[in-house]
Amino acid sequence: MSSKLFLLALVMLLSGCSSIFMSNYDNYEHSLYNEIRTVSELGKTECSNKEEIKKIVKTLYFKASLLKNYAGALDNNEKSFKISEDLKTIISELHKRYSNVDEVSSNYCELKLTSIEKAAAAAQYNIARKPK
Amino acid sequence: MIRDDIESFADYDNEFIKSIAEQAIKIDNDFKAQKISKEEYVELLEDLNLQKNISQSIKDLSIQERLNKLVTGLITAASAL
């Protein structure tokens, strides 16, 4: 019995305890954060183009939904799932505004896309540090 | 007063804290210049709290609390307008 406990302790020590309680690095999950970050970064230049920005907002909403569903389906991924939920909340407000309001100011658009870009970059930083 | 506190974070050596402070300053400037509505202002400030949650690299709880208070202070001030 004590040798089993010793073995378990050794495994936890060698693997870094976190890897036992957290899902491993997932390339696709990381890639989705990178896409959201990049689309919002480049999208800022289109804030004055009414038709183009609507397409960009739709893309961001789709990718945020894809990410949330994907992160939620991974085992032991609660922390990352919470991050994907928070990011989707930020993006949903933008999506709602472009769906319901005729005129959205370009200042709001630029600030909001900066917010999404920074949030996705912060998330990406954390996701990249998951155990490999 | 709140604004001075936020500006003090803009020189912070943690890039996430610095980024949140810089965004707060820009959002506040645009609101004061009437370039965004009150509703947009509150929404953008609430985003900063979500950003803070997402960037789990801010380990210092006292800084997290200060940032919370500052952002909430701006939202409360705007709501009273």
The alpha carbon of residue A126 is apart from the nearest alpha carbon of chain B, in Å, by 7
Does the structure show a pLDDT above 80 at A49?
A: yes
Nearest to B47 among A105, A115, A126 (CB): A115
Are residues B53 and A93, on separate chains, in Cβ contact within 8 Å? Answer: no
Domain, as residue range, for B71: 2-79
Q: Which residues of A touch B44 (CB under 8 A)?
A: 108, 111-112, 115
Please state the domain count of chain B.
1
Query: Which is nearest to A26 in space by CA: A79, A72, A71?
Result: A71
pLDDT at B9: 77
Nearest to A107 among B30, B48, B55 (CB): B30
pLDDT at A25: 93
- Compute the distance between CA of residue B21 and CA of residue B3 in angstroms, rounded to an integer: 10
pLDDT at B57: 61
User: Considering only B52-56, B57-61, B65-69, which range has the smallest mean pLDDT?
Assistant: B57-61
The interface predicted TM-score of the complex, written ipTM, equals 0.87
Q: B35 versus A23: which is more confidently predicted?
A: B35
- With a pLDDT cut of 70, the percent of chain A lying above it is 83
A123 Cβ under 8 Å from any chain B Cβ: yes
- With a pLDDT cut of 90, the percent of chain A lying above it is 73
Residue of A nearest to B40 (CA): A108
pLDDT at A1: 54
Structural domains of chain A, with CATH? 21-128 (1.20.120)
pLDDT at A64: 98
Between CA B39 and CA A29, with CA B67 as vertex, the angle to 5 degrees is 80
- With a pLDDT cut of 90, the percent of chain B lying above it is 36
- Compute the distance between CA of residue A2 and CA of residue A88 in angstroms, rounded to an integer: 47
Does the structure show a pLDDT above 80 at B58?
A: no
Q: Which residues contact residue B67 at a Cβ distance below 8 angstroms, ignoring those fewer than 6 apart?
A: B9, B17, B20, B48, B52, B58
| HEC readout, chain A | CHHHHHHHHHHHHHHCHHHHHCCCCCHHHHHHHHHHHHHHHHHHHHCCCHHHHHHHHHHHHHHHHHHHHHHHHCCCCHHHHHHHHHHHHHHHHHHHHHHHCCCCCHHHHHHHHHHHHHHHHHHHHHHHCCCC
Rounded to two decimals, the pTM is 0.86
pLDDT at A20: 44
A·B CB contacts under 8 A: 65
Determine the distance from the C-alpha atom of residue A117 to the mean position of all C-alpha atoms in its chain, rounded to a whole number: 10
Does the structure show a pLDDT above 60 at A17?
A: no
B30 Cβ under 8 Å from any chain A Cβ: yes
- Given CA atoms B5, B11, B17, B19 in this order, what sign does their dihedral have? positive
- Compute the distance between CA of residue A103 and CA of residue A113 in angstroms, rounded to an integer: 16
Are residues B36 and A108, on separate chains, in Cβ contact within 8 Å? Answer: yes
Are residues A115 and B53, on separate chains, in Cβ contact within 8 Å? Answer: no
Nearest to B54 among A87, A93, A107 (CB): A87
Does the structure show a pLDDT above 60 at A10?
A: no
